[in-house]
Amino acid sequence: MTSKRKETIGREQDQRGEQTRTKLLVAAIECFATQGYDATGTRLIESKAGVKRGLIAWHFQSKETLWKAAAVSLFSRAAEDFAAVRMQLSDVSQTQQLRQMVKVYVRFLAKYPQIHRLLSTEGSHESWRLTWLVENIAAPWYADLQRVFVESKDAGMFPDMDFIHFFYILTGSAAMIFAMAPEARCLSGKDVLQPEFVEAHADALIALIFK
C-alpha cells in the first residue's frame, strides 16, 4: 500500500470517527436533557445515535466525560453567539446591548430547547453536575449579564430590583415556552418554534422588562 493511500485511509477513518463522536454528542444532549443523567444509560445513547455498542467508551471513556462534553458542545454555541453580538455592539448604548443580548438569548433557546430542560433537571438538586454547570457555564454568563444589568439599572432603564430576580424572570420567560413547545402548541394552536414567532416572543419580552 502506498503512503498516499495510507493517508487517504487515515483521513477517512478520522472523518468517520468525528461523525460518530458528533452523533453521540447530539444523542447525549437529547437523552440527558429529557431523561436526566441517572436515568440515561450508555446503551440508550448509542442506540439513539445509531452507532455500535462500546463506542462511548472508545470516544469518551465514561458517561461522566460524555455528559461534560455534551454540555460544553451545547453551551459553547451560545457563548460564540453572544461574543459575536458583543463585538458588533461595542459602540452602542448599554440599552441596545442588553436588548440585543435578550434577542440572541431567546433565539438560541428556541433553537436549542434542550438547554432549559437540562438546566431545569440539574438545577433542581445538588450534584457534581450542578456544581460543574455553575462553575463552567452558568457563572460566567450570570456575571456578564449582571454587569450590563447594573449599569443599565443605574441609568434608570430597569425597576429597582436585585439582579437575581431579573435573571430568573428573564430565564423563565425566555426559555419555558420553547422547552414546553408541545404544550404551547396544544394551548394556542401555534408553532412556537417558527422564526417569526420566536422574534415576536423576543420583542414581547423586551417590551415587558424594559421601562
Contact 37, 67 (CB under 8 A): yes
Given this model, what pLDDT does residue 6 score?
46
Given this model, what pLDDT does residue 100 score?
83
Using the 8-state DSSP alphabet, how is residue 36 labeled? Answer: -
Which positions of the chain have pLDDT values less than 70? 1-14, 86, 89-90, 211
Distance, in Å, from the CA atom of 100 to the CA atom of 27, rounded to the nearest integer, reads 31
Given this model, what pLDDT does residue 13 score?
54
Contact 108, 81 (CB under 8 A): yes
Intra-chain end-to-end CA distance of the chain, in Å: 71
In terms of Cβ atoms closer than 10 Å to its own Cβ (0-12, 13-18, 19+), residue 143 is exposed
Given this model, what pLDDT does residue 8 score?
46
Domain annotation for the chain: domains and CATH numbers: 1-73 (1.10.10.60), 92-211 (1.10.357.10)
Given this model, what pLDDT does residue 3 score?
58
